[in-house]
Chain A
Amino acid sequence: MKAIETFETPSAARVNYINAQYGLKSWLLTKDHKRIALLYLGSISFFFFIGGLYAMFIRLELLTPQGDLLSSTTYNKVFTQHGIIMIFFFLIPSIPATLGNFLVPLMIGAKDLAFPRINLLSWYIYLLGGIITIYALLAGGVDTGWTFYAPYSTTYSNSYVIAAGLGIFVSGFSSILTGLNFIVTIHTMRAPGMTWFRLPLFIWAHYATSLVMILGTPVVAITILLLAFERLTHVGIFDPATGGDPVLFQHLFWFYSHPAVYIMVLPSMGVVSELIANFSRKNIFGYTFVAFSSLAIAVFGFLVWGHHLFVASQSVYAGLVFSFLSFAVAIPSAIKVFNWTATLYKGSISYDTPMLYALGFIGLFTVGGMTGLFLAALAIDVHVSDTYFIVAHFHYIMVGGALFGYLGGLHYWWPKISGRMYPEGWGRFSALVIFVGFNLTFLPQFVAGYLGMPRRYHAYPPEFQVFNVLSSAGASILGFGLLVPLIYLVWSMRYGKRAEANPWHLPGLEWRTASPPPTENFLTTPIVTWEAYEFAPPEETRVVGTYKEEATLGDADVIINGKP
């Protein structure tokens, strides 16, 4: 086994990407993938906060069976906007645009992404899409549900459908550009010795995600254009009153939006693969199985959209095929769960915050995945589709899966990103609170759903109240739990303990450069001579030549305070 060595950087390397330049302009015109990742981090956190506020109103309204807090029109807008903001402006960009942007070049030993300007462009496009959407919300909101089903959205809705659709249309291009950038970077910019099968699984997951982004996003763009076109000109595309076909809309919409679920969860799986391996100091059990299962999910993910249409007058034979394929896509996910679990066997498992999120992810993703089988099973789907069972299921995937992976990854790489450690005690505490709050929120919804409570109901029959009260109680715990990391992560940027280059003593390339890294990531091109997750024995662990003697200096401090 080889020692973990960092690449020698001269002492000038105490200049890092954060303090390399100052001023607003240096951020807004940066081409550094790490700075762009931080721009994304700030913007998606903002949207997460907005989406969370909407969630709070939903849970408050549903405390009582009568629709007494909000009017039904307002409630419809609130759940629609919760969905649009959370899906298109938080979950889809979350891991790829922040952690992926920051780490893809670092993990493969590159100086930046292949197209740094396109990377910056993607953030501006995302921001433009976000601004258009915010305009739609402020101008009067949109009430179609995040799914924009026609002909309600094209003919009957009296809200800002086109503006909201335009926001999504525009932000989709940022996804496409990010995916393109990742694919080219991973193909062409790997450091010498970084072969495909030495890539960290995080990279494999991002590669698979990028394929989905590039192939899927154009379809939703076309769908939104057709929707806007019909709304403006009343040409019959989707509305049968003018000769259109409303089910066509659902096919087009889900052709993107089902794979979009994998855009949200595949990167999270990549993060969890990193966390499980690194915090148990074991190489991933069945590396190739896990790597290829990401690709399999990306490919099969395009073939299952019809399972959203089992009760939408789709042919029963089409239903049969889509049901079969939906069961098939579950298998690669099951393999991942078993392989992660097996990785822990005879490991050296630490209980650091990121690992708690990873373990939470496995549990919640298992529940989310298994309840997905209920929906793939045709006869059960007939009963539970469009009920709270679905709502619970996809929150287990999107919050229990995507969000837990995101939070775990954010904590894990926080020392690298910010150069500071977060407070471990608070980290563990909030991870636990979030886990408890999440389950209390969404577990009762499975029961309410099977009992028949339909989703998107402003008022509901009183026998469902007990489940809604539990949910709302859980949501308040969840909300509190999510505020804690927001506070201590911001706090740690100034007051946190300074992070070493390799605080977790890991072999990954990103840990072999300074924390925070210099603008060019590695002062000399690294040469990779080790396999992924090849942990070095303790006596050989030479930690970070470069930053040891800098442990006391204050450069980073000054920058983070915003003063030169």
Chain B
Amino acid sequence: MQTPWIPFIPPSASTLSGQVDALYFYLSGVTVFFTLLIAGVLVFFVIKYRRRSPFEIPRPIAGSHKLETLWSVIPFVIAMSMFGWGAQLYFQMYRPPQNAVEVYVVGKQWMWKIQHSTGQREINELHVPVGRKIKLIMTAEDTIHDFFVPAFRMKADVLPGRYTTQWFEATTPGTYHLFCAEYCGMNHSGMIGSVIVMQPSEFDNWLSGNAAQQSPAVAGQQLFQSLGCVSCHGANGEGGRGPALVGLFGRQVFLTNGQTLTADEAYVRESIENPQAKIVSGFGPIMPTFQGQVTPEQLIQIMSFIKSLQTTTSGSAPSGAPSAAGPSPKAQVPTAATASSPANKQ
């Protein structure tokens, strides 16, 4: 993959990377133009108006409002074009499409633990197929990390106690760097890995070669039973003393305090770890906290189970259903219900 000359941009391997490069080239062009313009004018003036006799006093010029307005307005207009373009692209980057395949990422000092929704686990490696939208749902076990793939031109911080997301659609097969980009302690520069982009057929081989471990949804269902959630929320999340969980994700939830919110990962996590924070209207504050009893990975599994309740009609058991659905498009998170959406910042 190495080019013989020194490259100026990293390999481009996602649908958005070319767009980021285009904006980068635009800004680079403007920067080079203005830097050369100013340097050129500076050098020209410095030579042309050099001091010719030691005591000469040039005629003072007070200024020119016309000129000053001109060179306030022109930079402003150029700056706004950069702002608009950058913002539009940013919204694309942080608004995951609805039909993306979910992959779970947990960062810890100093490794990346990754699990596919079909159950395959990886460490410091992420295998993805070309042409499929992948949404990463990420959290950290200890301190803040950052999942950075230069070839995709994307990164997002991975925080303890929060779920952040990013999405991409790979375009070119190859092996690309994965870096931790938020300083996380001693072995920060060793918290690296690779993203391996494969053709869909190869990817399917890879999936089947990695005999599917238990899918997160199934593991979540087991946790749902072993932790005793079933006694209030029902064996299949149909509800009881606790609110029903079927179809929860993305749904509007009405709280006893009169507030309304859209259920997302952050809300569900909070309801497990600190159940008293937001009580669903019509229910009592009877749920005990599970803080410290479930690891971030187990939380992800429980959520995955709750999400799997979404697609099944109420009553039918979800066993195996989510893994059978596999990487096919699942409309599970209809809104931009990410950890960063304003709705969950209470």
Which A residues form the contact surface with B (CB < 8 A)? Answer: 1, 67, 72-73, 76, 143-145, 149, 151-152, 155-157, 239-241, 243, 246-247, 280-283, 285-289, 310-317, 319-320, 323-324, 327-328, 330-331, 334-335, 337-339, 341-342, 344-351, 359, 362-363, 366-367, 370-371, 373-374, 376-383, 385-387, 447, 450-452, 454-461, 463, 466, 505, 533-539, 541
B183 near A152 with CB under 8 A, answer yes
A461 near B177 with CB under 8 A, answer yes
B157 near A447 with CB under 8 A, answer no
Closest chain-B Cβ to A447's Cβ sits at a distance in Å of: 6
The one of A313, A347, A351 that contacts B164, using a Cβ cutoff of 8 Å: A313
Q: Which residues of chain B are near A239, meaning CB under 8 Å? A: 160
A316 to B183, CA, bound (A): 23
B324 CB-CB contact with A under 8 Å: no
A348 to B87, CA, bound (A): 45
Q: Which residues of chain A are near B189, meaning CB under 8 Å? A: 67, 72, 454, 456-460
The one of A330, A338, A380 that contacts B79, using a Cβ cutoff of 8 Å: A330
B245 CB-CB contact with A under 8 Å: no
A-B contact list, 23 entries, CB within 8 Å: A73-B186, A76-B185, A76-B186, A239-B160, A311-B146, A313-B156, A315-B341, A327-B80, A335-B71, A345-B45, A346-B49, A348-B58, A359-B42, A382-B153, A383-B20, A451-B150, A452-B10, A454-B189, A456-B183, A460-B189, A466-B6, A535-B57, A538-B55
A374 near B181 with CB under 8 A, answer no
Most buried by B among A157, A239, A381, A450: A450
Closest chain-B Cβ to A359's Cβ sits at a distance in Å of: 6
A366 near B38 with CB under 8 A, answer yes
Closest B residue by C-beta to A284: B63
Q: Which residues of chain A are near B177, meaning CB under 8 Å? A: 452, 461
A289 near B63 with CB under 8 A, answer yes
Chain B 100-129: CB-based contact to A (< 8 A → 1; otherwise 0): 000000000100000000000000000000
B155 near A535 with CB under 8 A, answer no
Besides the known contacts A280-B58, A281-B51, A382-B156, 15 further A-B residue pairs in the complex with CB atoms under 8 A apart: A72-B188, A280-B49, A288-B63, A311-B156, A313-B162, A334-B72, A337-B38, A346-B61, A373-B79, A377-B82, A381-B86, A451-B7, A451-B8, A452-B177, A538-B54
Chain B 173-205: CB-based contact to A (< 8 A → 1; otherwise 0): 000010111111111111010000000000000
A349 near B38 with CB under 8 A, answer no
A345 to B206, CA, bound (A): 68
Closest chain-A Cβ to B295's Cβ sits at a distance in Å of: 12
Closest 6 pairs between A and B when the two form their complex, measured CB to CB: A452-B150, A240-B161, A538-B55, A377-B86, A378-B90, A379-B89
Closest chain-A Cβ to B28's Cβ sits at a distance in Å of: 8
Q: Which residues of chain B are near A339, meaning CB under 8 Å? A: 63, 68
Stretch from B29-37, B232-240, B249-257 forming part of the interface with A: B29-37
Q: How many Cβ-Cβ contacts under 8 Å join chain A to chain B?
A: 302
Closest chain-A Cβ to B155's Cβ sits at a distance in Å of: 5
Given contacts A286-B68, A451-B9, contact A350 B159 (CB under 8 A): no
Closest chain-B Cβ to A536's Cβ sits at a distance in Å of: 7
Closest A residue by C-beta to B7: A451
Closest B residue by C-beta to A536: B57
Closest A residue by C-beta to B341: A315
A363 to B51, CA, bound (A): 21
B148 CB-CB contact with A under 8 Å: yes
B93 CB-CB contact with A under 8 Å: yes
The one of A149, A288, A373, A460 that contacts B144, using a Cβ cutoff of 8 Å: A149
A458 to B55, CA, bound (A): 55
A363 near B76 with CB under 8 A, answer no
Q: Which residues of chain B are near A533, meaning CB under 8 Å? A: 60
The one of A280, A281, A371, A541 that contacts B31, using a Cβ cutoff of 8 Å: A371
The one of B52, B85, B143, B162 that contacts A348, using a Cβ cutoff of 8 Å: B52
A374 near B24 with CB under 8 A, answer yes
B290 CB-CB contact with A under 8 Å: no
Q: Which residues of chain B are near A538, meaning CB under 8 Å? A: 53-57
B67 CB-CB contact with A under 8 Å: yes
Closest chain-A Cβ to B162's Cβ sits at a distance in Å of: 6
B272 CB-CB contact with A under 8 Å: no
CB within 8 Å of A: which of B43-97?
45-46, 49-64, 67-68, 71-72, 75-76, 79-80, 82-83, 85-91, 93-95
Given contacts A331-B72, A345-B49, contact A450 B8 (CB under 8 A): yes
A378 near B34 with CB under 8 A, answer no
Closest chain-A Cβ to B50's Cβ sits at a distance in Å of: 5
Closest chain-B Cβ to A269's Cβ sits at a distance in Å of: 15
The one of A288, A311, A334 that contacts B157, using a Cβ cutoff of 8 Å: A311
Q: Which residues of chain B are near A288, meaning CB under 8 Å? A: 63
Q: Which residues of chain A are near B63, meaning CB under 8 Å? A: 285-289, 339, 342
B268 CB-CB contact with A under 8 Å: no
Closest B residue by C-beta to A539: B55
Q: Which residues of chain A are near B68, meaning CB under 8 Å? A: 286, 289, 335, 338-339
Question: In the complex, how many residues of chain B place their beta carbon closer than 8 angstroms to a beta carbon of chain A?
Answer: 96
Given contacts A286-B68, A289-B63, A315-B340, contact A341 B42 (CB under 8 A): yes
B331 CB-CB contact with A under 8 Å: no
B339 near A313 with CB under 8 A, answer yes
B342 CB-CB contact with A under 8 Å: yes
Q: Which residues of chain B are near A314, meaning CB under 8 Å? A: 340
B212 CB-CB contact with A under 8 Å: no
B31 near A370 with CB under 8 A, answer yes
Closest chain-B Cβ to A90's Cβ sits at a distance in Å of: 22
Given contacts A149-B183, A348-B56, contact A342 B82 (CB under 8 A): no
Q: Which residues of chain B are near A151, meaning CB under 8 Å? A: 142-144, 160
Q: Which residues of chain B are near A363, meaning CB under 8 Å? A: 35, 38-39, 42
Given contacts A349-B51, A377-B83, A380-B86, contact A370 B162 (CB under 8 A): no
A362 to B38, CA, bound (A): 8
A536 to B60, CA, bound (A): 11
B41 CB-CB contact with A under 8 Å: yes
Closest chain-A Cβ to B154's Cβ sits at a distance in Å of: 6
Closest chain-B Cβ to A324's Cβ sits at a distance in Å of: 6
A243 to B161, CA, bound (A): 9
A460 to B192, CA, bound (A): 10
Q: Which residues of chain A are near B72, meaning CB under 8 Å? A: 331, 334-335
A350 to B57, CA, bound (A): 12
Closest chain-B Cβ to A13's Cβ sits at a distance in Å of: 26
Closest A residue by C-beta to B32: A370
Q: Which residues of chain A are near B57, meaning CB under 8 Å? A: 1, 281, 348, 535-538
Q: Which residues of chain A are near B150, meaning CB under 8 Å? A: 383, 451-452
Q: Which residues of chain B are near A348, meaning CB under 8 Å? A: 49-52, 56-58
B23 CB-CB contact with A under 8 Å: yes
Chain B 6-26: CB-based contact to A (< 8 A → 1; otherwise 0): 111110000000011001100
Q: Which residues of chain A are near B93, meaning CB under 8 Å? A: 379, 382
Closest B residue by C-beta to A374: B27
The one of B2, B71, B90, B341 that contacts A319, using a Cβ cutoff of 8 Å: B90
Q: Which residues of chain B are near A344, meaning CB under 8 Å? A: 42, 45-46, 49
Closest A residue by C-beta to B89: A379
Q: Which residues of chain A are near B160, meaning CB under 8 Å? A: 151, 239-241, 246
Most buried by A among B68, B86, B162, B188: B86
Q: Which residues of chain A are near B90, meaning CB under 8 Å? A: 310, 316, 319-320, 323, 378-379, 382
Q: Which residues of chain A are near B67, meaning CB under 8 Å? A: 342
Closest B residue by C-beta to A444: B6
Q: Which residues of chain A are near B9, meaning CB under 8 Å? A: 450-451
A454 near B162 with CB under 8 A, answer no
Given contacts A72-B187, A351-B50, A370-B31, contact A377 B181 (CB under 8 A): no
B339 near A156 with CB under 8 A, answer no
Q: Which residues of chain A are near B146, meaning CB under 8 Å? A: 311, 386
Chain B 151-172: CB-based contact to A (< 8 A → 1; otherwise 0): 1011111011110100000000
B42 near A362 with CB under 8 A, answer yes
B342 near A315 with CB under 8 A, answer yes
Q: Which residues of chain A are near B94, meaning CB under 8 Å? A: 316
